[in-house]
Amino acid sequence: MVQKEERDGGRRRGRPRSFDPDAVLEKARAVFWNLGYAATSLDDLAAATGLNRPSLYAAFGDKRALYLAALGRSRDEALGALGRALQPERPLRQVIAFIFERSIELYRTGEVGQRGCFVVGTAVTQAVEDAEVRSLVADFIERTEAAFRARFAADAGQLAPGLSPAAAAAVAAATLHTLAIRARTGADGPELKRVADAALEALFGPA
């Protein structure tokens, strides 16, 4: 027997709602980025993504799984962008200055306010109690520093006298992290540029 399908406005009832997982993850990440992991509720995520709780669970698992997916995406995007920015064959000081300038622009964006870096701004507090988050953040920090270190080693002669590539990489990576934190706490463009300029002087000497 053929059962008659119930329809509502031309749409079958009970049919799973189609959606783009990447778009949903991006919307969820925006909520986590603004509120932090702990303050984000499933209702917040459902409202932002347009999906109900069962659909979110079916697509991504629980809230923590969704956050880890957003965290992994942010890590990969940030490391990819850094790697590309370090490639140009320009004077090293210009390359690092561009990275700092571009980072400041990104860190100061946000629908609600300046959001800083997703990884640094939202994951550090979770790292205390969540080993997987802690590992991901540690990996992000280590790989950020390694990317700088490789470029500095290739152009070590352009660094300030007596500064090793390893030390320079630690300074550059730490500068990105402090810029992200200061941006999230409301520091304006000139203040962030002052920090970046101080780091450039430490890395390369006076301009």
Span 68-114, pLDDT tens digits: 999 999 999 999 999 999 998 899 999 999 999 999 999 999 888 89
pLDDT at 100: 98
Model pLDDT, residue 114: 94
Q: Give Cα separations from 115 to 5, 35, 99, 106, 128 (angstroms).
A: 47, 10, 18, 9, 21
Range of the domain at 157: 18-204
Q: Give the CATH number of the domain where residue 93 resides.
A: 1.10.357.10
Q: Of residues 57 and 3, which shows the higher confidence score?
A: 57
What pLDDT is recorded for position 26? 94
Q: Residue with structure tokens 């561009």? A: 98
Does 12 map to a domain?
A: no
> What pLDDT band is residue 3 in, cutting at 50, 70 and 90?
very low
Higher pLDDT: 197 or 4? It is 197
Q: For the residues 112-135, what does the mean pLDDT come to?
A: 94
What's the pLDDT tens digit per position in 159-171? 999 999 999 999 9
What's the confidence (pLDDT) of residue 57?
Answer: 84
Give me the pLDDT at residue 185, please.
Answer: 95
Q: Does 8 map to a domain?
A: no
Decide: residue 119, CB within 10 A, 0-12 exposed, 13-18 middle, 19+ buried. buried
Number of domains in the chain: 1
Q: What is the pTM of this model?
A: 0.86
Report which of residues 52 and 152 the model is more confident about.
152
**Residue 10: inside a domain, yes or no?**
no
pLDDT at 14: 40
Q: Which two tokens stand for residue 3?
A: 């059962």
